[in-house]
Structures are given as structure tokens and as C-alpha cells.
Amino acid sequence: MKTTYEVRQAAHPEDVKHYDTQRLRKEHLISPIFVGNEVTMVYTLYDRLIVGGAMPVDEKLSLEAIDPLKMPFFLSRRELGVINVGGKGRIIVEGIAYDMDYKEALYIGMGDRNVVFESINSTQPAKFYFNSAPAHTNYPDKKITKSDAVVVEMGSMEEANHRVINKLIVNQVLPTCQLQMGMTELKTGSVWNTMPAHIHSRRMEAYFYFEVPENNAVCHFMGEPTETRHIWMQNEEAVISPSWSVHSGTATSNYTFIWGMGGENLDYGDQDFCKTTDLR
């Protein structure tokens, strides 16, 4: 097995507005997330969130501390949220096995030393997408399925943004230090997520797009509301949203995405909405 990582610095919005396409992608787009028998990570300095993926094929993969943490094990001072977006898998935490079906989530608290990812069938490998945030205390590990989630239906077919927001790792479901994660599924014919768009200066956010059909792509929007930029994204790619940035997207098909946040508060509803007609 192999662990690869990259550190991404945080930037000032006045600087980012001068970025060309290549630079914008280099700093914000995260790809590839899934590499066979590897754990990949991006350590972003935006709220020190780590965005990563583990794709065990015919090897077990352990979650190892990366050098920038300077810690004996990955979860020494961190918590982790994982969602399986591949075939059936298993996560073993301190010897306790959690069977992870498609779209099931696991919260793993600070202090757990041994976290191992495995696939049930190497021909249909599990794909574990994860976010990790700094933590101050241990909260219990917990598997979360869609039936445990706080589910909110948003948007409409007429506005092409009819979607279901599954709040999986949020404080109405389980206690966390600062991590919040969920999964939003767009209905057939709906393509716009997070419209009207919003900002939450108290928290950064990462989006991971999946279930994007072949030969389709997502057009993700970021930037200050009056200075937006777009990033074209493929299936199974993630994007960093600084706390000063909108995060919203459209696509050539419907799709699903996982959102994850870390930062100042655990209040999902703490969002400052942008009037759609004010966007530039």
C-alpha cells in the first residue's frame, strides 16, 4: 500500500481573482482521489481540512499519519468522516469491523489508532471518500446510513434544481468536534446544486462529485459572489471552497455530490445567501 499527500496553501480572494484556469485548478481541484491500493490526501490550510480517498483493491489499506501532522497516528488530534462510493467494503477501527455498503457513512473519533480499509470483492472495489478536521476530544465512532440522516428536499423541477440533501454527519445525528458531512442527490432532469448560492465565512467546504454519467461533466462555480470563476470537473473529483467563496454547480446531467465542512461552528443553517440576480 502507499499513501500520497499534497499540501495546499490558503489564499486571499484579491489574489485568486487573477488566477488563470490552470492556476485555479491547481489550487482548488482535487484529482485523482481514487488510485488502486492507495490512500490519497490533500491537506488544505483552509480550516486544515484533509480531503482524501482510499481505494483498497486486493490489499488492506491503513490510515497513516502523514508527515505534516507530526503526530504518531492520523487520528491523534483529528476526527474523520468516510462515505463509501464504490463496491461493498469494510472499515476496521480498533478491531471493530463496520460493513460499508454504497453511500453509507462512518464517523471515526479522535484517538483511534488503527483504521483499516478493505474491499469485499476486488473486482468491485470499495471507494472510501473522506474528510478529516482537527479535533479536541473523542466522540464515539458511528455508522450512519441514509435512514439515520436528516433529509431535506430542496428546489424544483421547474428551476432544474430538485434535489435531496442527506445530512449524514451533522450534530442532529451525532456529536462531532467540527466536521459536518452529507450527500446531495439530484433528481433526473435537475442539474443545479446550491442555488441560490451561499457563503459561510465561518466554515470552508469541499465538494466531491460522483454519479456523473460518462461523457458528462460538472461546471462548478467558486469565488466571491461578484467575482465568480468556474472549474469544469469530471466524475469523482473534489474541489476546495474557501470560506469567502460560493460553491455551486451545474452539469450536463444529474449527479450526486458529497459536501464536507470544517471551521468555526456546527450550524449547517449558518449560511449567507446570495441573490441569484446579483451574481457576477
The item of ligand D54, Zn ion, none sharing an interface with residue 184, based on CB under 5 to 8 Å by kind, is ligand D54
Number of Cβ within 10 Å of residue 277's Cβ equals 6
Quote the CA–CA distance of 94 and 130 in Å, as a whole number: 18
**Is 198 annotated to bind ligand?**
yes
Q: Do residues 213 and 261 lie in contact, with contact meaning Cβ atoms separated by under 8 Å?
A: no
Q: Which is nearer to ligand D54, 118 or 205 (CB)?
A: 205
Q: Which does 84 bind (CB under 5 to 8 A by kind): ligand D54, Zn ion, none?
A: none
Sign for the CA dihedral angle at 203, 209, 210, 211 comes to positive
163 binds, options ligand D54, Zn ion, none, Cβ within 5 to 8 A by partner type:
ligand D54
Binding partner at 193 among Zn ion, ligand D54, none, C-beta below 5 to 8 Å by kind: ligand D54
Residue nearest to ligand D54 (CB): 184
- Dist CA 31 CA 33 (whole Å): 5
Q: Which residues make up the interface to ligand D54 (CB under 6 A)?
A: 154, 163, 165, 182, 184, 193-194, 205, 247, 259, 271
d(CA 25, CA 239): 9
Residue 227, annotated as binding a ligand:
no
Paired strand residues for 182: 167, 259
The entry of Zn ion, ligand D54, none that residue 117 binds, CB within 5 to 8 Å by partner kind? none
Is 59 annotated as belonging to a binding site?
A: no
Residue 15 has which C-alpha cell?
489574489
Nearer to ligand D54, 52 or 262 (CB): 262
Contact call for residues 30 and 4 (beta carbons, < 8 A): no
Name which of 131, 164, 130, 171 is nearest 48 in CA terms: 131
Nearest CA to 1 among 43, 60, 65, 74? Answer: 60
Q: How far is the CB of 271 from Zn ion (least distance, A)?
A: 6
Q: Which is nearer to ligand D54, 176 or 193 (CB)?
A: 193
What's the min distance (Å) between Cβ of 118 and ligand D54? Answer: 29
Per the annotation, does 230 bind a ligand?
Answer: no
Quote the DSSP letter at residue 71: S
Measured between its terminal Cα atoms, the distance across the chain in Å is: 45
Cβ proximity to ligand D54: between 75 and 274 the closer is: 274
Based on CB atoms, which residue is closest to ligand D54, 193 or 254? 193
| C-alpha grid cell, residue 177 | 468536534
Residues 178-217 that bind Zn ion (CB under 5 A): 205
Which of 117, 208 has the CB closer to ligand D54? 208
| Closest separation in Å from C-beta 216 to ligand D54 | 18
- As measured in angstroms, the least distance from the Cβ of 248 to Zn ion is 9
Q: How far apart are CA 207 and CA 198, in angstroms?
A: 14
Positions that interact with Zn ion (CB under 5 A): 205
Residues that constitute the known binding site for Zn(2+): 198, 200, 205, 247
